[in-house]
Structure formats: C-alpha cells, structure tokens
Amino acid sequence: MSRVAIILGSTRTPSIAPNVAALVTKTLEPLLPAGSTLTTVSLRDYPLAPYITGPPPIMATPGKYDDAQTNAWSNFVSSLDAVVFLTSQYNASLPPSLKLALDVLYHEWAKKPVFVVSYGGAGGTQANEHLRAVATFMKMNVCEKSVELPFGEGHNPAGGDLQGATLKNWSEGEKAAELKAGCEAFVAMLGSKSA
C-alpha cells in the first residue's frame, strides 16, 4: 500500500497537464497495490518563492524551513511514498516551476521511487532526460522506464486540450502501450526503498 502523487510540472494556464494526468491515472491506478492512493497535485497549490533562504536544503531539516510555503511543500512531499513527475518541455528542459519545487527540498525526495512522463512536440525528450538526471543526482530511485509523449499532427499547444491524433496515440496507440509498460515498471518498484 503506497501513497503516490502525480506532480504536474507546468503551472501554465491553460496547461495540457491535467488532461495528461487523467490519462496516467487511468493507466496507473488499476495497477497499484490494494489500499494505495493516487492523487494529482498542481504546483499552483504550493506557490514557492523563486529564491531559497537559510542553508542549502541538503543541510536543512524537513519541515523546518524559514517560510510557511516551503514547509507546506516539505510536509506534503514527506507524506508521499512515490512520485510521478509529469513534465512539459520548456526551451529544451523542464519548466522552472518544477525545478524550483525540486530544488527547495532535498531529504524529502531521497530514495523515493519516481516515474517520469514528459510531453512536447517531440515528446519532451530533453525535459525527460534533464529531470531524470536531476532526480538521480538528488538520490531519488528513478524508474528505468520513462515515457515521452509527442504531440500528434494538428495539435495546438496553446489550448490545453488533448484531442485528435495526440489523444488517439496516447490513449490507445503505441504510446498507450509504452505508458502501461512504464506504469508496470514503476509499480514494481513500490515497496523498495532504494535502487
């Protein structure tokens, strides 16, 4: 039994992320051990200042930061057993909102099983790679399988909708199969505390 959260890396409005999270939930939830919980969290609900006060988080005590926002985020992340990061790609990397949410903490993340799902014109390949590199550096237990979801022909990234060729491929095509295989690999990690 695990408490798992899908963390939406984008804070943009409108973001496609809630629609992608619904797809991940549909695939992942039935695979989780009985009694597990799966929630989706928006970083908009945990606004963080774009700077860090006090010692580097690696030297800090979880829940004992200088500001209430970071403590709220710290307490939430500490309460999780595992995380799915859903990341868009912004200029060849992960969104700054997600990088900040990672950087303001340290020990809260360590050893957690994490699964990375990215999306973008070409699947968000660079965001996916960068995020996994950061998570590995921060001693998270990164799932060996990650998923890159590319926009299909005619996708309009401005709207936040998930439809047409994009939806078809992600929900029933080749990418749906990849997502399922990734979710299975992630679920197999639950319960193991380190790589």
Ligand X SMILES: Cc1cc2nc3c(=O)[nH]c(=O)nc-3n(C[C@H](O)[C@H](O)[C@H](O)COP(=O)(O)O)c2cc1C
Q: How far is the CB of 85 from ligand X (least distance, A)?
A: 12
Q: How far is the CB of 21 from ligand X (least distance, A)?
A: 10
Nearer to ligand X, 92 or 195 (CB): 92
Candidates 12, 107, 145, 180; binder of ligand X (CB under 6 A) is: 12
Is residue 22 within 8 Å of 160, Cβ to Cβ? no
165 is an interface residue for ligand X by CB under 6 A: no
b/e burial code for range 176-189 (CB count within 10 A of at least 16 → b): bebbeebbeebbeb
For strand 3-8 and strand 82-88, is the pairing parallel, antiparallel, or unpaired? parallel
Q: Which stretch binds ligand X (CB under 6 A): 8-16, 65-73, 109-117, 175-183?
A: 8-16
Nearer to ligand X, 67 or 129 (CB): 129
Per-residue binding string, ligand X, 111-150, x by CB under 6 A, is ---------xxx----------------------------
Is residue 190 within 8 Å of 81, Cβ to Cβ? yes
Write out the binding residues for ligand X, residues 37-96 only, by CB under 6 A. 88-92
166 is an interface residue for ligand X by CB under 6 A: no
Q: How far apart, in Å, are the Cα atoms of 151 and each of 39, 121, 170?
A: 25, 5, 9
CA 91 to chain centre: 18
DSSP category for residue 124: -
